[in-house]
Amino acid sequence: FEVRNDVGYEDMRWITVGPPDQPDTSIVLTPPAVDPGITDDERRTVLEMIAKGTYAMVVLAADDLEAVFAQVEASGAEVVEPPTDQPYGTRDCSVRDPAGNMIKIQQAR
């Protein structure tokens, strides 16, 4: 990835990255729980959820979901849900990375 934007404000930063050959694809990395409208208790809850890997997830797409799932499963990743036809119209699976973060992989359309 290349850094496309790096914005600093007070003691925080927002960084936008993306693949050099795909200018329309970007990921924005932001600090957790920085919304000035949340309380200290809410901020603590968010940080606890992050520590457990239940706050957010990464969603990826694969041309061959079954093959990617087999490879990820063989690597020892924790399987949360095998490839499944979801009621909302996609086929996907969910795993956790070694840090406990949820990763959902969808069949590309």
Enumerate the domain spans of the chain: 53-107
Residue-averaged pLDDT of the chain: 88
For 53-107, the fitting CATH number among 3.40.50.920, 2.120.10.30, 3.30.720.110, 3.30.360.10 is 3.30.720.110
DSSP alpha helix (H) spans, the chain: 40-52, 65-74
Q: Over 80: is that where the pLDDT of 31 sits? A: no
CA–chain centroid gap for 77, Å, is: 15
Cα–Cα distance measured from residue 70 to residue 49, given in angstroms and rounded to the nearest whole number: 28
Q: What is the pLDDT of residue 46?
A: 87
Q: Over 80: is that where the pLDDT of 52 sits? A: no
More confident residue, 6 or 13: 6
More confident residue, 28 or 94: 94
More confident residue, 100 or 92: 92
End-to-end alpha carbon distance in the chain: 24
Cα angle value 27/30/32 (rounded, 5°): 135
pTM above 0.85, yes or no: no
